[in-house]
Amino acid sequence: MISSQAFTNITFFQPQSFLMTGIPGLEVVHGWISIPFSSMYTVALTGNCLILLAVRRTHSLHQPMYYFLSMLALSDVGLSLSTMPSTLAVLWFDYRIIDFNACLIQMFFLHFFSVVESSVLLAMSFDRFVAISNPLRYASVLTNNVIIRIGVAITTRATLSLLPLPFLLKRLNYCPGKILLSHSFCFHADVMKLACADITVNILYGLYVVLSTVGFDSLLIVMSYSLILYTVMGLASPRERVRTLNTCVSHILAVLVFYIPVIGVSMIHRFGKHLPHIVHALVAYVYLVVPPVLNPIIYSVKSKPIRGAMFRVISRKG
């Protein structure tokens, strides 16, 4: 006679580890592919750390706009560090095993820094709106205390939104033979598909998180820029309009660099099941690797104060 506890142990299964996938169909050239990936991670970490040091060491950059830029750089560093170890382990050493709990931890931080980045981009759009619509009150509205509160709110929101995800995955029963992930890192949508159980709750909660964070943020960013355009169109001088809009170019590019891949990943996960696996992999890498690489480049090229401060940090180190 089998006890109820033994029966539970037999029917409930969680794998000790998952098997990660590199770039499907290109396993033979993973060593060569690791070169551009290593370069991109190096550029992302170096560029964003330079921004953090430049803002910290340059007193003239102790302004709300650059504090938010530091938050963006910090989230990009976190996003890069979330995926870099497992991705390079797969590409360099063909080490594809990731522990079940380590996978859940990586998944949490990967999505955490994505939500944080989305929230910071929203805060930056609010910064641009206040600076353009009410420049005389800019310093009194965005004080250091307000910026600290915004930072705490961003972190709290991301934590509370994403904390249930690992527990929702941990409660599921998994099939002994299904341990192959679609990427070299752990996505919530990817992990939950390996379960041999009803994942309706996971799907609904995942959809809620996306809509209440990235979806809600993108809507408010569009509204912010609608109000900014309305304000700019009220300026009498065309030259003044161009000069004012030019202060938003870096942020607009950062928004596009982040949200276009996000939309691509969401669309492919829901409607692109018939597409080759390599398309899924490449879009996911673009979403996670490209924004941290491009953001420092965008701001160093478009912002003369940031560019000058970054050069001063480099020359001081030299």
- Report the pLDDT value the prediction gives residue 24, as an integer from 0 to 100: 87
- Report the pLDDT value the prediction gives residue 10, as an integer from 0 to 100: 52
Alpha-carbon dihedral sign for residues 266, 157, 47, 296: positive
Higher pLDDT, 241 or 293: 293
Q: What are phi and psi of 303, to 5 degrees?
A: -110, 110
User: Does the predicted model carry a pTM greater than 0.85?
Assistant: yes
Q: What is the pLDDT of residues 75-118, one digit of tens each?
A: 999 999 999 999 999 999 999 999 999 999 999 999 999 999 99
Average pLDDT over residues 187-203: 92
- Determine the Cα–Cα distance for residues 197 and 264; give it in Å rounded to an integer: 27
Q: What is the pLDDT of residues 251-269, one digit of tens each?
A: 999 999 999 998 888 788 7
User: Are 258 and 118 a contacting pair, CB within 8 Å?
Assistant: yes
Residues in CB range of 137: below 8 A, 6 or more apart: 130
- Nearest one of 180, 174, 231 to 202, comparing CA atoms: 174
How many C-beta atoms surround the C-beta of residue 212 within 10 A?
13
- Determine the Cα–Cα distance for residues 84 and 46; give it in Å rounded to an integer: 14
What 3 state SS string does 67-127 have? HHHHHHHHHHHHHHHHHHHHHHHHHHHCCCEEEHHHHHHHHHHHHHHHHHHHHHHHHHHHH
* Residue that the structure tokens 């709290």 belong to: 156
User: Are 170 and 104 a contacting pair, CB within 8 Å?
Assistant: yes
- Report the pLDDT value the prediction gives residue 318, as an integer from 0 to 100: 58
pLDDT band for position 240 (50/70/90)?
A: confident
Burial class (CB in 10 A: 0-12, 13-18, 19+), 28: exposed
What is the CA angle 53-58-59, rounded to 5? Answer: 135
- Determine the Cα–Cα distance for residues 45 and 43; give it in Å rounded to an integer: 6
pLDDT surpasses 90 at 270: no
pLDDT surpasses 50 at 1: no
Q: To which H or E segment does residue 146 belong?
A: helix 144-162
Q: What are phi and psi of 197, to 5 degrees?
A: -155, 175
